[in-house]
Every structure is written in structure tokens, then in C-alpha cells.
């Protein structure tokens, strides 16, 4: 708690408006507004320290010291208002309002009109000459006090009120007259007596004390405690609640009175205009309660033109003072405006961006402040088509939100169908149990992908993300029968061609078309991101594998490609057969021949990518995944072979058919003879050409190869540089393609900065092996083309041993890039798929792990490894370029950490580049307050 303040209670004039921890957000701002001369009704704040002291003293009543201070402040209020608390002629009424440092639903509600009793009620009637109003105020107090401070049920009050309204034929509250309201108060008082076995407290000070205690206690109420746990609100952020006692002003004194809430700018669009609602002849709670429909603030221009002008002035004063869009409450009592609360307005991303730029232009905030007021993650809202929030729809099933964005289309159950349907202009959603590399053409053809199995790193998820297509994966509620071309979801049967909508941001699946809105990449955002780039130290690159992806990355502002995965280039339909040939090759020569056919494809891709990036670095990773990923699975092959065998057998049986038929019934035979003849003829041809047999042989040898290549732990098996060393000709081909592409660019005067990155390295000797090959090929190519090729050589860091040997690896590696997906698996010894499908959710639920480390970088473990690695690498090579290219590279928290350990760059998917640019600027601007846990 730190040192205690000298007192517990502060008037709005004296409270420190900067100290939200002590006075709560509401209290500090009430003080602030009072001190800049805004019309706040007089009042005072009881500090959060008083609350903590009360709770620490075991809730044994308010202590004498506090009571003394409260009484003194009440006396002061009496002086300021010229009224008396409990005074029979001029009664002072107050509201008692809770408010912690952070706004927190679940805390105690506000009690209005406190100080009313049988005696002061009479005074209020005399004072206002408005009996109806006075009884209305009284019945509100009894109900609020009863439910909030005495723990009674709201429903019991509502029931009485409803009965009386019915009896008096009043449609709603305003139609009930003084007599009806008086009757209501009597009913309410009886209810209190009955339920609490005590009369409603008459003494205003007793009311005040009970109310304050109730607010204090609510801090430890179950709802509030749960809320703080759920949203990780630590005592550092908010500790205890303050209580605000505020003189009542009345919006329910007639047609010249009102209450309302407003934003200083439109929180939906950012438009610089007053935005809000108000209700004539009502008290605060009515607007929220939805008893009557409030009017848009615009109408106040003609309803109350004078007050509207004051509201306009208030809006400017608030913004000038807080330098932020404000969300404020006001009440108008007999034509006089009062301000009852203000706080920073919550806005959507487009409104935040617009207001950031506008407020800089208006001189309200600096460019830094404009950047800092936008949480980077919020930009995600703007970068994908998303479901129209206005659409009212029911969720059919929910899977994992594997790749954000929304898409609608007709269901297809295989990639070929997706392709053929897309060719005739249909929008399709590819629905599969799982996807494989040879489904890739189906991805290109589809609007989105839905799978019933697999996590967020399943093939479907990873490929969809890299293409920026929406994907819902692991939606187990869907039972797919792709032979029958049917899927059953929660009792609904879907057939090919049925419309569905998927939302890859939430994992939801809907029946039919849900309207979407397109992403807006507005001018204001571009300006903002340019400012961010100027402030940031980290560079933002992108992970992109194809010319299309690379163009997108460049458009979104990536200053390089941090990860270009060559295997993605292997997956295209015209290349996959050659890749398979290469894998199935029996001899080195055969393999070489296949590789030579692949080389031009890769070279052209690299050239195109270099051309697009126009001199910015392009980091190409040599082949990484185990090669059996490019072959069909053995299950699939077994089925195909069985079908082929059955076909051969059927042909044999068909040959015997005419004779058998003749034997059976010569007449029948005569009828079919001609047809049978043509069929058997055709089949004979099939047989003579040995089509089926040849295919069976080919499939069988592929099956053998698949079996031979099968591994127990493919992710820890024959992949990455290990593959490059056992099949050196594969890497040689890729290296040659990169260097030749660069050489051709150099000849064409296109600037290039290629970088070759070796995956899965754990020892320097592996790097030496590849490095020698790079040198050899580079010399050859440079000689052949007659140009010098600029080139950097480096390694991924995704194996724990590589971290430990970073100093040694840095002897050869000019750069290092953390592959934090694999490095996280390696650090925890978790396999991601198994972890996410089996035990991680429980770990998170039980609090054993706070987060999913595959989504949120584990800074304490993986981060510390990164820190050590960088330190050791820099000892060997002080100017070593360092980066991160795992999925974490696009997440703001991880980016802040990367700034903290001084990485050179982060690399993320093209769509996240804007988020990362903003986060990189935040990293720099907030570096002083960064705490490495």
C-alpha cells in the first residue's frame, strides 16, 4: 500500500486528480472536473485506503477517525449547498457511488437520493412544490438502498411496483401520479420491514454509513473477485474501491430537466461531433435501464438550445483537459447543466485511428501519444473481412479460430471439386477432415477452409494463414463423409453445394450466408504507421513464400522477407509430381534429373520475389519439412491399390460373362450380346495396355517408399539441415536457384539482398557443410554470369543446442532468426499438436500454465533462452543481425520483448505487418517501463 495518506476523505476541490489508485477513476475525474471549473455538484471522495483499512479491520464498522472526516465533509456540503442533511425544510440529498482505479462491473451499484425519510420527504415537497417528484425520488431510494445496501431482491420491489402501475392503469413510470408513487413507497417500506425484520433506516447518517460499508464490502464480493481474477487485475492495478458522495441534482423535475450520456466524438466512426442520448424528466439510471427510449443528442438542439450550446462547450473543455475522447454523464436540472462523470471513451479501431490523426492535427496530442493510445492488436479488426456485427445469426458449431477473417461459400469436400467449381466462378469453402500438401490447389480455389481435425498448426491452419484465408480447424462437431459428399453437424446434414459461413477469428461456423464487411486500409492508418516506423527501432519483415504473398507484405509495409519457405513452392500442382519423382528416385542420377526440372521453377520464383522486394532483404530458408510430407499417406495408397486390383479382377470376370449368360438363358444372352461385346472389347484394350497393372506397380513402389520414409517422430526426425546433408543435391539445387536468380537480377540492374538460412541447425559442423556448398556454387555462378552476387548466410535458431552454441554458430552465421514455434516445442518438450489437443486446455484452466506458449511467447523460458543466445552470439560477432520468424513475431507482447533484447527485426505473416509496426513503436516508446520477468 505504501505510506498512508494523512487522511481518508477528500473534497472534489482538494483531491489529487492524478491519483486514480487512491481516489478511483470516477473520483479522481470528479475532482479533476471540479478543479477546472466544470459544473460538478459538490461532493467528496472516500479513498481506497479507507476501504482497505475497513476490510483489514474485519469490517467492524467505519472507524471513528473516518466517521469524523465524513461528518466534517458533510457539514462542508451543507455550507456549499445551503441545505441540511436530515433538515426538515431544506433537505440535502446525496448519491453514494463506488469507483475503483479501473472500471469493473460486479462492483456495487449507485444509491441515489440518500437522506430522504418521512420527515425530509415533506421538506422536499415544500422545496420543489412537486409531490410527484418527491415520492418518485423516495421510491427510488428505498429500492436502491434495499437491493444494494440491504441485499434484498430487486424482483420483489419490481413486483409491487408493477401491481400498483396496473391498478392505476399507468403504462410506465411517468404515467403514475403522486398518489400511485406514494402507495409504492408505502409498499416498499413494508417490504423492507418484512424482509429485513427492521424498519427502513430513518436517520440519514445511518443510511450513509450503511451505504458506505456496503460499497467497501462489495470489493470482496464474489462477482468482483471473480472479475478481477478473470481479467488479471492485480492489486498493482486496482486495490480497493473508493466511495464518492455527491450532492444530488435532479433530472426528473419536469420537462426542463433531463439526464444523459455522451461521447465527445463518435466512438463508432471517430467523427468529430458530439454523440449521445438523453431522456427528459428522468434520473440517471433510467437511461441505462431502458424504461423509455432515449433521444439522440442532436434533438436537444431544438428541445433545449441553450443547454445544447453548453454541452458543446463542455465537450471541448473535456477534450482539451484530458486530451482523449471522453465518455461522460450529465444531468440537467431546471435548465442547468451538471456533469456527473467522465472517463476515456472506448472506441473501435477505425474510430481510434481517425481520432488519433485528427487530434494530432488539432494540436491536442503528439504523434507519440497518437501511437500509444492504440493497442496494436486492435488493428486486426481492420485487416480481414469480418462478419457484419449487425447480422443476427445462430452458430451451428465451433472449432478453433485457426486463421482470422470470415468467408461464405458452397461446401465442397475435395480440392479438385473446389478447383472445378471455382473455375466456373463459384465461391466455395473446402471442408475436409484434414488437408495435405496435394490439396493445395483447393486452397487457392476456396474462400476458406474448414476441417474437423487438427489444431492451429495443422496443415490447413498454417497454409490458410500464410495465404491470409479464413480457416476454422478441428471443428469436431462435424462428421464428414467425403465418399457420400455429406457432413453432419449437430443433427443438420449438409451436402455439396450447401452454403456455409466460417469465421476464422472466432472459430464459429454458420449455416447460409452471413454478410461480411471488407477490410478498410484507410489513408489515416497509412499515416499513423509511417509515424510508427519513424519511432521504432525494430524492423518489421514478413513471412511470405510466393510472389503474391510477397506483394502483399510489401503493400502492408514490410521492409524485407524474414522467412521465405521454399517448400511452399514445391506444393504447387505442376511441381508436386516432379518433387515426388525426385523423392522416389532410385539413383542419384534420377534424383538429379528431377531436381534439374525443379530448378527453373524455383529460380523464377526467387527472381520474381527479388524483383518485388527491390533491394530489400529476402531470407530464403532451405528445405525444412520431412520429405514424406510431399507423398500421399500409406492409408490412401493402400485403398487406391485395392481399388485398382478390384478393377483388374472385375475385367477378368467380365470376360467370362457372355458364356455364363448363354449357359443360363440363350434368349437373354441374345438380347445383350451386342452390348456385352462392346464392353468386353473396351476392357480388353484396358487389359492389353496394362494400364491398371502399371499404375499398381507405381503405387506399390510409392507405398514402399512411404513406408521406408515413415518416422516415429517426424518433427524430430529426418528434416531440415539433416535432410540437406543426407541428400546434398536438394540443397545444392535450391542454393543454385537462389544465387542464379540473384545474378540475373544483378545483370538486369535490379538491386537484390538475398540471404540463405539453414533450418534445424544444432552444431557448427552442419553450417560448415552447407556453407562450403554455398561458396562453391556462388563462385561458379558468379563466374558464369560475370557478376558479383551479394549474399548473406545464416541460421535459424529452433533447437536448444543451437542456443547453447550460439557463440560458435556466429562464427559462420551472419544472421540468426529464432524459429519460436519449434523452439517452444523444444524448450517445453511438448509436441504442439498433442499439447493443444490433449492437455494444454486443462493446464490453462488449472493455472498450471497461464497461456498457450505456442500463441503467447513464453518470455520466462523461451525468452530467456533467446536473451542468452543473443548475448553469446554478439560476443563472437557484435554486429550479428538477429530476428524472430515464428508466429510470435506478429504478437505485440513478444514484439516488446524482442525490442527489449535488441533484436534487429521481427518477421510475421503479411497481414500482421501493420500490427507489428505499431507494436515495434510501442516497444520503443515504452522501453523505460519494461519489466523483464
CB neighbours of residue 338 within 10 Å: 19
248 belongs to the binding site for ligand ADP (CB under 6 A): yes
Closest CA to 496 of 567, 417, 407, 390: 417
In terms of CB distance, is 173 or 367 closer to ligand ADP?
173
Q: 15, 24, 91, 284: which one contacts ligand ADP (CB under 6 A)?
A: 284
State the Cα–Cα distance between residues 648 and 699, nearest whole angstrom. Answer: 15
Q: Which of Mg ion, ligand ADP, none sits in contact with 822, Cβ below 5 to 8 A by type?
A: Mg ion
Q: Name the minimum Å distance from CB 63 to ligand ADP.
A: 25
Which residues in 789-808 contact Mg ion (CB under 5 A)? 798
Question: Of the listed pieces 241-249, 380-388, 650-658, 800-808, which binds ligand ADP according to CB under 6 A?
Answer: 241-249
Question: Of the listed pieces 243-251, 298-306, 424-432, 444-452, which binds ligand ADP according to CB under 6 A?
Answer: 243-251
184 belongs to the binding site for Mg ion (CB under 5 A): no
**CB closest to Mg ion, residue no:** 822
In terms of CB distance, is 246 or 721 closer to ligand ADP?
246
Q: 41, 474, 557, 853: which one contacts ligand ADP (CB under 6 A)?
A: 41
Question: Of the listed pieces 245-253, 680-688, 799-807, 814-822, which binds ligand ADP according to CB under 6 A?
Answer: 245-253
Closest CA to 197 of 145, 150, 148: 150
Q: 545, 766, 822, 836: which one contacts Mg ion (CB under 5 A)?
A: 822
Using CB atoms within 10 Å of the CB of residue 846, give its burial: 0 to 12 exposed, 13 to 18 middle, 19+ buried: exposed
Q: Name the minimum Å distance from CB 93 to ligand ADP.
A: 8
Q: Which of ligand ADP, Mg ion, none sits in contact with 746, Cβ below 5 to 8 A by type?
A: none
Q: Name the minimum Å distance from CB 819 to Mg ion.
A: 4
In terms of CB distance, is 270 or 284 closer to Mg ion?
284
Question: Of the listed pieces 297-305, 401-409, 817-825, 842-850, which binds Mg ion according to CB under 5 A?
Answer: 817-825
- 914, three cell numbers: 501493420
- 547 touches 612 (CB < 8 A): yes
In terms of CB distance, is 246 or 703 closer to ligand ADP?
246
Q: Name the minimum Å distance from CB 321 to ligand ADP.
A: 19
Q: Which of Mg ion, ligand ADP, none sits in contact with 74, Cβ below 5 to 8 A by type?
A: none
In terms of CB distance, is 401 or 819 closer to Mg ion?
819
340 belongs to the binding site for ligand ADP (CB under 6 A): yes
- CA atoms in the 13 A half-sphere facing the CB of 86: 11
User: Beta 753-758 vs 792-797: how paired, if at all?
Assistant: parallel
Backbone angles phi, psi at 429, to 5 degrees: -115, 125
Of the residues 441, 459, 888, 891, only one is catalytic, namely 459
CB neighbours of residue 171 within 10 Å: 8
- 466, three cell numbers: 500464410
State the Cα–Cα distance between residues 125 and 130, nearest whole angstrom. Answer: 5
In terms of CB distance, is 516 or 566 closer to Mg ion?
566
- 430 touches 439 (CB < 8 A): yes
Positive or negative torsion for Cα 279, 281, 287, 291 = negative
- What string of DSSP letters covers 231-287? TT--TTT--SEEEEEEE---S-SSTT-EEEEEESS-TTT--SS-EEEEEES--THHH
- 423, three cell numbers: 473455375
907 belongs to the binding site for Mg ion (CB under 5 A): no
Residues in the interface with ligand ADP (CB under 6 A) total 15
In terms of CB distance, is 380 or 798 closer to Mg ion?
798
In terms of CB distance, is 261 or 422 closer to Mg ion?
261
State the Cα–Cα distance between residues 88 and 90, nearest whole angstrom. Answer: 6
Q: Which of Mg ion, ligand ADP, none sits in contact with 340, Cβ below 5 to 8 A by type?
A: ligand ADP
Binding-site string for ligand ADP from residue 89 to residue 118, where x marks contact by CB under 6 A and - marks none:
------x-x------------x-x------
DSSP secondary structure code for residue 67 in this structure: H
Backbone angles phi, psi at 166, to 5 degrees: -65, -45
Question: Of the listed pieces 114-122, 341-349, 356-364, 781-789, which binds Mg ion according to CB under 5 A?
Answer: 341-349
Question: Of the listed pieces 153-161, 242-250, 502-510, 872-880, which binds ligand ADP according to CB under 6 A?
Answer: 242-250
3-class DSSP string for 349-407: HHHHHHHHHHHHHCCCCCHHHHHHCCCHHHHHHHHCCEECCCCCCCEEEECEEEECCEE
Q: Is 885 a catalytic residue?
A: yes
Q: Residues for the chain: how many in total?
A: 933
For cell 441553450, name the residue: 306
DSSP secondary structure code for residue 169 in this structure: T
Q: Which of Mg ion, ligand ADP, none sits in contact with 284, Cβ below 5 to 8 A by type?
A: ligand ADP
- 859 touches 932 (CB < 8 A): yes
In terms of CB distance, is 246 or 445 closer to ligand ADP?
246
- 504 touches 464 (CB < 8 A): yes
- 558 touches 388 (CB < 8 A): no
State the Cα–Cα distance between residues 310 and 168, nearest whole angstrom. Answer: 39
User: Beta 815-818 vs 792-797: how paired, if at all?
Assistant: parallel
Q: Which residues contact 656 (CB under 8 A, 6 or more apart)?
A: none
Binding-site string for ligand ADP from residue 315 to residue 334, where x marks contact by CB under 6 A and - marks none:
--------------x-x---
Q: 113, 247, 341, 342: which one contacts Mg ion (CB under 5 A)?
A: 341
Binding-site string for ligand ADP from residue 477 to residue 516, where x marks contact by CB under 6 A and - marks none:
----------------------------------------
State the Cα–Cα distance between residues 369 and 376, nearest whole angstrom. Answer: 13
Q: 52, 108, 208, 249: which one contacts ligand ADP (CB under 6 A)?
A: 249
Of the residues 475, 762, 885, 898, only one is catalytic, namely 885
In terms of CB distance, is 294 or 399 closer to ligand ADP?
294
Q: 754, 819, 883, 889: which one contacts Mg ion (CB under 5 A)?
A: 819
Q: Name the minimum Å distance from CB 187 to ligand ADP.
A: 23
Q: Name the minimum Å distance from CB 906 to ligand ADP.
A: 40
- 541, three cell numbers: 519483415
DSSP secondary structure code for residue 514 in this structure: P
State the Cα–Cα distance between residues 895 and 573, nearest whole angstrom. Answer: 36
Q: Which of ligand ADP, Mg ion, none sits in contact with 345, Cβ below 5 to 8 A by type?
A: none
Closest CA to 510 of 519, 518, 501, 499: 501
Q: Which of ligand ADP, Mg ion, none sits in contact with 248, Cβ below 5 to 8 A by type?
A: ligand ADP
In terms of CB distance, is 242 or 357 closer to ligand ADP?
242
State the Cα–Cα distance between residues 94 and 135, nearest whole angstrom. Answer: 16
User: Beta 753-758 vs 617-621: how paired, if at all?
Assistant: parallel
State the Cα–Cα distance between residues 378 and 401, nearest whole angstrom. Answer: 17
Using CB atoms within 10 Å of the CB of residue 247, give its burial: 0 to 12 exposed, 13 to 18 middle, 19+ buried: buried
Q: Which of ligand ADP, Mg ion, none sits in contact with 285, Cβ below 5 to 8 A by type?
A: ligand ADP
Question: Of the listed pieces 333-341, 368-376, 464-472, 598-606, which binds Mg ion according to CB under 5 A?
Answer: 333-341
Element holding 780 (H helix, E strand)? helix 764-785
Q: Is 459 a catalytic residue?
A: yes
218 belongs to the binding site for ligand ADP (CB under 6 A): no
Which residues have a catalytic role annotated?
459, 885
- Residues within the interface to Mg ion (CB under 5 A): 341, 798, 819, 822
Q: Binding residues for ligand ADP, per CB under 6 A?
A: 41, 95, 97, 110, 112, 246-249, 284-285, 329, 331, 340-341
Amino acid at each position: 500500500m505504501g505510506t498512508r495518506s494523512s487522511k481518508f476523505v477528500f473534497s472534489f476541490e482538494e483531491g489529487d486528480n492524478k491519483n486514480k489508485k487512491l481516489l478511483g477513476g470516477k473520483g479522481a475525474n470528479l475532482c479533476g472536473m471540479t478543479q477546472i471549473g466544470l459544473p460538478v455538484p459538490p461532493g467528496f471522495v472516500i479513498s481506497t485506503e479507507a476501504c482497505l483499512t475497513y476490510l483489514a479491520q474485519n469490517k467492524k464498522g467505519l472507524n471513528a477517525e473516518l466517521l469524523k472526516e465524513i461528518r466534517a465533509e458533510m457539514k462542508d456540503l451543507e455550507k456549499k449547498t445551503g441545505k441540511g442533511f436530515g433538515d426538515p425544510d431544506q433537505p440535502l440529498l446525496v448519491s453514494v457511488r463506488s469507483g475503483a482505479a479501473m472500471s469493473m462491473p460486479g462492483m456495487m451499484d449507485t444509491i441515489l437520493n440518500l437522506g430522504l425519510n418521512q420527515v425530509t420527504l415533506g421538506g422536499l415537497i415544500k422545496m420543489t412544490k412537486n409531490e410527484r417528484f418527491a415520492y418518485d425520488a423516495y421510491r427510488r431510494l428505498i429500492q436502491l438502498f434495499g437491493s444494494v445496501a440491504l441485499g434484498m431482491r430487486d424482483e420483489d420491489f419490481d413486483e409491487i411496483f408493477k401491481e400498483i402501475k396496473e391498478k392505476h392503469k399507468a403504462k410506465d413510470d411517468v404515467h403514475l401520479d403522486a398518489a400511485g408513487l406514494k402507495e409504492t413507497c408505502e409498499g416498499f417500506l413494508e417490504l423492507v420491514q418484512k424482509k429485513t425484520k427492521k424498519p427502513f433506516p430513518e436517520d440519514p447518517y445511518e443510511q450513509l454509513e450503511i451505504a458506505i460499508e456496503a460499497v467497501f464490502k462489495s470489493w470482496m464480493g464474489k462477482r468482483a473477485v471473480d472479475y478481477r481474477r478473470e481479467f488479471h487485475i492485480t492489486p498493482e492495478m486496482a486495490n480497493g474501491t473508493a466511495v464518492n458522495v455527491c450532492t444530488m441534482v435532479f433530472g426528473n423535475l419536469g420537462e426542463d430537466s433531463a439526464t444523459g450520456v455522451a461521447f465527445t466524438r463518435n466512438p463508432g466512426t471517430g467523427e468529430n461531433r458530439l454523440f449521445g442520448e438523453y431522456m427528459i424528466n428522468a434520473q440517471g439510471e433510467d437511461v441505462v435501464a431502458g424504461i423509455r427510449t432515449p433521444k439522440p443528442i442532436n434533438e436537444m438542439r431544438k428541445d433545449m438550445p441553450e443547454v445544447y450550446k453548453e454541452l458543446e462547450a463542455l465537450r471541448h473543455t473535456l477534450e482539451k483537459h484530458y486530451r482523449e475522447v471522453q465518455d461522460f454523464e450529465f444531468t440537467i436540472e431546471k435548465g442547468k447543466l451538471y456533469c456527473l462523470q467522465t472517463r476515456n471513451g472506448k472506441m473501435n479501431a477505425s474510430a481510434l485511428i481517425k481520432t488519433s490523426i485528427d487530434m494530432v492535427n488539432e494540436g491536442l496530442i503528439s504523434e507519440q501519444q497518437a501511437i500509444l493510445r492504440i493497442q496494436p492488436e486492435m488493428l486486426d479488426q481492420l485487416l480481414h473481412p469480418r462478419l457484419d456485427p449487425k447480422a443476427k445469426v445462430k452458430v451451428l458449431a465451433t472449432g478453433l479460430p485457426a486463421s482470422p477473417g470470415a468467408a461464405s461459400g458452397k461446401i465442397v469436400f475435395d480440392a479438385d471439386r473446389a478447383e472445378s467449381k471455382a473455375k466456373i466462378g463459384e465461391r466455395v469453402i473446402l471442408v475436409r477432415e484434414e488437408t495435405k500438401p496435394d490439396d493445395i490447389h483447393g486452397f487457392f480455389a476456396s474462400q476458406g477452409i474448414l476441417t474437423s481435425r487438427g489444431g492451429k498448426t495443422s496443415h490447413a491452419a498454417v497454409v490458410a494463414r500464410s495465404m491470409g484465408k479464413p480457416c476454422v480447424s478441428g471443428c469436431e462437431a462435424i462428421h464428414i463423409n467425403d465418399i457420400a459428399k455429406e457432413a453432419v453437424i449437430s443433427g443438420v446434414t449438409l451436402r455439396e453445394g450447401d452454403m456455409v459461413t466460417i469465421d476464422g477469428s472466432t472459430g464459429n461456423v454458420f449455416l447460409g450466408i452471413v454478410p461480411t464487411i471488407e477490410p478498410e486500409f484507410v489513408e489515416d492508418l497509412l499515416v499513423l504507421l509511417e509515424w510508427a516506423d519513424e519511432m521504432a527501432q525494430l524492423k518489421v519483415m514478413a513471412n511470405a513464400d510466393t510472389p503474391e504473398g510477397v506483394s502483399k507484405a510489401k503493400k502492408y509495409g514490410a521492409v524485407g522477407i524474414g522467412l521465405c519457405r521454399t517448400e511452399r513452392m514445391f506444393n504447387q500442382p505442376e511441381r508436386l509430381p516432379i518433387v515426388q519423382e525426385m523423392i522416389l528416385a532410385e539413383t542419384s542420377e534420377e534424383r538429379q534429373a528431377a531436381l534439374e526440372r525443379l530448378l527453373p521453377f524455383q529460380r523464377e520464383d526467387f527472381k520474381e520475389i527479388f524483383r518485388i522486394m527491390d533491394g530489400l532483404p529476402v531470407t530464403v530458408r532451405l528445405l525444412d519439412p520431412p520429405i514424406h510430407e510431399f507423398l500421399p499417406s500409406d492409408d490412401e495408397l493402400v485403398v487406391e491399390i485395392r481399388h485398382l486390383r478390384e478393377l483388374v479382377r472385375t475385367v477378368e470376370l467380365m470376360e467370362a460373362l457372355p458364356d455364363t449368360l448363354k449357359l443360363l438363358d440363350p434368349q437373354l444372352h441374345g438380347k445383350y450380346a451386342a452390348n456385352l461385346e462392346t464392353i468386353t472389347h473396351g476392357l480388353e484394350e484396358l487389359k492389353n495396355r496394362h494400364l491398371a497393372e502399371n499404375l499398381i506397380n507405381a503405387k506399390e513402389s510409392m507405398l514402399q517408399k512411404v513406408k521406408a520414409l515413415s518416422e516415429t517422430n517426424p518433427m524430430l526426425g529426418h528434416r531440415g539441415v539433416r535432410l540437406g546433408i543426407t541428400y546434398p543435391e536438394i540443397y545444392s539445387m535450391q542454393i543454385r536457384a537462389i544465387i542464379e536468380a540473384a545474378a540475373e537480377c544483378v545483370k538486369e540492374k535490379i538491386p537484390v539482398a538475398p540471404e540463405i538460412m539453414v533450418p534445424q541447425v544444432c552444431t557448427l559442423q552442419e553450417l560448415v557443410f552447407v556453407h562450403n556448398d554455398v561458396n562453391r556454387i556462388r563462385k561458379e555462378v558468379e563466374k558464369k554470369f560475370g557478376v558479383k552476387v551479394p549474399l548473406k548466410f545464416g541460421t535459424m535458431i529452433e533447437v536448444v543446442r543451437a542456443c547453447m552454441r550460439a557463440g560458435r554458430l556466429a562464427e559462420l552465421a551472419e544472421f540468426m532468426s529464432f524459429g519460436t514455434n519449434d523452439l517452444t516445442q523444444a524448450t517445453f518438450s511438448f509436441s504442439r499438436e498433442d499439447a493443444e489437443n490433449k492437455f494444454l486446455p486443462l493446464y490453462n484452466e488449472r493455472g498450471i500454465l497461464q497461456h498457450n506458449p505456442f500463441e503467447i511467447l513464453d518470455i520466462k523460458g523461451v525468452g530467456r533462452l533467446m536473451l542468452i543466445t543473443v548475448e553469446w552470439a554478439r560476443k563472437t560477432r557484435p554486429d550479428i543481425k538477429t530476428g524472430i520468424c515464428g508466429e510470435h513475431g506478429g504478437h505485440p507482447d513478444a514484439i516488446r520483448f524482442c525490442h527489449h533484447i535488441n533484436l534487429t527485426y521481427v518477421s510475421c505473416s503479411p497481414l500482421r505487418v501493420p500490427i507489428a509496426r505499431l507494436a515495434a513503436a510501442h516497444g520503443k516508446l515504452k522501453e523505460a517501463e519494461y519489466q523483464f520477468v
